[in-house]
Amino acid sequence: MSEPTYDAQGEGLPQVVPDPALPAAVTVYEVGPRDGLQNESALVPTQTKAEFVRRLAAAGLPVIESTSFVHPRWVPQLADAADLVDLLLTELGDRALDMPVLVPNDRGLDRALEKGVRHVAIFGSATESFARANLNRSLDEQFAMFEPVVSRARGNGLDVRAYVSMCFGDPWEGRVPIDQVVDVGRRLFDLGASQLSLGDTIGVGTSGHVTALLAAFHEAGLPVERLAVHFHDTYGQALANATAALRAGVTTFDASAGGLGGCPYAKSATGNLATEDLVWLLTGLGVEHGVDLDSLVETSTWMAGRLGRPSPSAVVRALGGNDAG
């Protein structure tokens, strides 16, 4: 006799117990097609990437970061960025231009402008060591590199997001001072970034640390409305950290379908917070997110099959059954 599927409300969703102290709605910022796939050693066909994005869009993800205009030598998996954007334009029309792309430098911005995209992101560091490993710049020199990129992007009417990596710990330097993270964030806002995504790149953060960092940004006069969080689940803390961020008023959460991802420059990093796990949490708390969980699980199960390994997402494994990998 097969075991019954958990079905609290007839649709495989958790029982909803709203918390009036939390934001009423949040934005799930899907990073799977870019951050999730960039660490894959086997090249994923462009058509498969486009299908992944199309499925994510159909599942209701409001923001999907599609790719990065990075030099192919740095991240071979994303060498097809221009071709992918062309394919998405054919399949999704104008919506493809609203899907953010990462631009590491002026040349990356040139390529993004050529395609007509409307949202770009830069990728900064809260630490000296990671700035040198990832950008070949010092902590201070990274701002000189970003300034013309942000200025030109804004001058062309583009929205600019700024990622800050290693906000909670660094594999070379260890603990990262909170005031150092806030200073980096302030300088990126001063350059013209509209939103700051605070990254726990190696997944060492805890909920108290999240609360303290967000409080420090508030005390520095940097509004929580312009902050996003980007958690990795190395030590199983991503959902606890997301809950702490919710309680602090954060309303934008980065996540990766199926828990895909890592960081090619931080070998201890494991997958991103799984979008399905985040959606399950938000649904149970009564926080609006607009994502169809069944469709999302189906998508991540499909991608796990293409990658040839099980999804690390607990919710995908629970709801996807044997098909989850």
Q: What's the pLDDT at 195?
A: 98
If you average pLDDT over residues 202-218, what whole number do you get?
A: 97
pLDDT, one tens digit per residue, over 181-208 is 999 999 999 999 999 999 999 999 999 9
Choice among 88, 250, 263, 291 that is catalytic = 263
Residue with tokens 């020199």: 141
8 A C-beta contact, residue 23 and residue 245: no
Strands 27-30 and 67-68, how do they pair?
Answer: unpaired
How far is residue 69's CA from residue 107's CA, in Å, rounded to a whole number?
8
Residue 294, H or E segment: helix 293-307
Q: What's the pLDDT at 324?
A: 59
Is residue 263 part of the annotated active site? The answer reads yes
SS3 67: strand
pLDDT of 97 over the 90 cut: yes
pLDDT, one tens digit per residue, over 6-28 is 454 445 789 999 999 999 999 99
Tell me what percent of the residues of the chain surpass a pLDDT of 70.
Answer: 92
Mean pLDDT across the chain, nearest whole number? 93
How far is residue 175's CA from residue 2's CA, in Å, rounded to a whole number?
48
Q: What's the pLDDT at 8?
A: 45
Residue with tokens 């399905």: 276
How far is residue 97's CA from residue 81's CA, in Å, rounded to a whole number?
13
CB neighbour list of residue 177: distance below 8 Å, 6 or more residues apart: none
Domains in the chain and their CATH numbers?
27-318 (3.20.20.70)
8 A C-beta contact, residue 220 and residue 195: no
Q: What's the pLDDT at 10?
A: 45
pLDDT, one tens digit per residue, over 113-170 is 999 999 999 999 999 999 999 888 999 999 999 999 999 999 999 999 999 999 999 9
For residue 232, what pLDDT band results from cuts at 50, 70 and 90?
A: very high
CA distances (Å), origin 200, targets 11, 79, 170, 180, 277 = 33, 26, 9, 14, 17
pLDDT of 49 over the 80 cut: yes
pLDDT, one tens digit per residue, over 279-325 is 999 999 999 999 999 999 999 999 999 999 999 999 999 998 656 55
pLDDT of 2 over the 70 cut: no
A 10 A CB-CB count for 60 gives 15
